[in-house]
């Protein structure tokens, strides 16, 4: 199963959660074999644990086998610092238990990789997390006897993008992994989602690594256990949406809205109502693309949003990775 199949669907979401929703809609709402998911809510934060258990589930939603954890916080764009701290704390707790679940121990040495282009604001999430995260590996290398208990060796790099370095980011990371021998890679990347609502309000954690074609930057090579020889945990936040996806989702929302109002959607939407997701998206793209309408877009306030969410992830990682960093006050350890 690969991203190619997903691209056939033309749905263009990097979130497993959305891919499952789409598959369920197409299937009339019935559960998808091979996909197990569980959702719980905590004071404005919705957490979903989703497992792609077998090849059938993978085919159905176009995502590789593995564990996906999603935090959805619709209010996260409101610049509420109290909420941000709470999300960082939640992130830390869930990330910590996610690490345990997928077998990454308390002392495993971590390399944090910030993927993306620091010159393109919606793609700068990874590099921004790297700038803000606490690195400790140098102390373990230079004076191992003097490191206080409760810390582990953490290093962090932002490998840049092909157009700036001339080198695939996966090659750079692979070289660094071979030299520095971490036990696990945590890769942060900006994603595309299907829905504007989820942009900068959702964080996905997955144990599947980074696959070619995912994220904003159209990678040609991945960062996976197969390639690097060590587990790769991926953290992603959708920061962009295709204009065509916005249109398509909106038509869907309008159909739902009218149906809820007892309208006859065949009457209201005509044949549009009978097209399936793919056909309609195909039509939208045919119309938008040739005249430059089908751009990847991002909210106007992206500068602030991306900084806020990078701080949340950096704070959360600090607390999750070091027992000595208190999950109750994670923000104090970042810039």
Residues 84-123, interacting with a second copy (CB under 8 A): 119-123
Binding of a second copy by 291 (CB under 8 A): yes
- Residue 267 pairs in a beta bridge with none
Binding of a second copy by 183 (CB under 8 A): no
Q: Which of these segments, 32-40, 98-106, 144-152, 164-172, binds a second copy (CB under 8 A)?
A: 164-172
Question: If you search the block for the tokens 């040495």, which residue do you land on?
Answer: 109
Binding of a second copy by 331 (CB under 8 A): no
Query: Site for a second copy (CB under 8 A): which residue of 49, 171, 323, 326?
Result: 171
Binding of a second copy by 262 (CB under 8 A): no
DSSP state of 31: P
Burial of residue 252 (number of CB atoms within 10 Å: 0-12, 13-18, 19+): middle
Query: Site for a second copy (CB under 8 A): which residue of 25, 54, 101, 167?
Result: 167
Query: At closest approach, how far in Å is the CB of 214 from a second copy?
Result: 15
* CA dihedral angle for residue 196, residue 41, residue 333, residue 112, rounded to 10 degrees: -60
Q: Which of these segments, 45-53, 57-65, 247-255, 316-324, binds a second copy (CB under 8 A)?
A: 247-255
Query: Site for a second copy (CB under 8 A): which residue of 102, 108, 147, 288?
Result: 288
Residue 286 and residue 294: Cα distance in Å, rounded? 9
Query: Site for a second copy (CB under 8 A): which residue of 10, 243, 282, 323?
Result: 243
Pairing verdict, β 232-242 and 184-192: parallel
Binding of a second copy by 302 (CB under 8 A): yes
Binding of a second copy by 324 (CB under 8 A): no
* Angle in degrees, 0-180, between the axes of helices 125-132 and 302-321, rounded to the nearest 10: 50
Query: At closest approach, how far in Å is the CB of 176 from a second copy?
Result: 5
Residue 84 and residue 50: Cα distance in Å, rounded? 24
| Residue of 126, 113, 103 whose CA lies nearest to 207 | 103
Binding of a second copy by 172 (CB under 8 A): yes
């Amino acid at each position: 199963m690969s991203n190619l199949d997903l691209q056939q669907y033309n749905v263009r979401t990097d979130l497993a959660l959305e891919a499952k929703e789409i598959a369920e809609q197409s299937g009339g709402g019935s559960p998808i074999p091979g996909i197990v998911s569980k959702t719980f809510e905590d004071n404005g934060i919705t957490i979903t644990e989703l497992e792609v258990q077998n090849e059938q589930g993978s085919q159905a939603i176009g995502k590789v086998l593995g564990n996906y954890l999603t935090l959805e916080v619709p209010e996260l764009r409101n610049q509420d610092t109290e909420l941000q701290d709470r999300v960082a704390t939640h992130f830390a707790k869930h990330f910590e238990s996610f690490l345990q679940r997928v077998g990454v121990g308390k002392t495993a040495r971590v390399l944090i990789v910030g993927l993306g282009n620091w010159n393109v604001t919606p793609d700068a999430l990874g590099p921004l997390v790297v700038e803000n995260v606490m690195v400790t590996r140098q102390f373990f290398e230079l004076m191992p006897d003097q490191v206080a208990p409760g810390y582990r060796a953490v290093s962090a790099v932002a490998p840049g993008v092909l157009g700036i370095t001339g080198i695939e980011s996966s090659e750079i990371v692979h070289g660094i992994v071979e030299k520095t021998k971490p036990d696990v890679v945590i890769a942060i990347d900006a994603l595309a989602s299907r829905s504007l609502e989820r942009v900068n309000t959702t964080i996905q954690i997955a144990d599947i690594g980074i696959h070619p074609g995912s994220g904003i930057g159209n990678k040609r090579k991945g960062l996976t256990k197969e390639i690097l020889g060590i587990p790769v945990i991926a953290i992603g936040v959708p920061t962009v949406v295709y204009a065509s996806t916005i249109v398509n989702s909106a038509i869907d929302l309008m159909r739902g809205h009218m149906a809820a109002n007892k309208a006859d959607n065949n009457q209201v939407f005509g044949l549009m109502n009978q097209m399936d997701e793919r056909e309609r998206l195909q039509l939208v793209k045919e119309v938008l693309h040739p005249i430059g309408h089908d751009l990847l877009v991002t909210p106007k306030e992206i500068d602030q949003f991306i900084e806020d969410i990078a701080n949340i992830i950096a704070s959360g990682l600090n607390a999750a990775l070091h027992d000595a960093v208190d999950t109750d006050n994670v923000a104090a350890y970042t810039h």
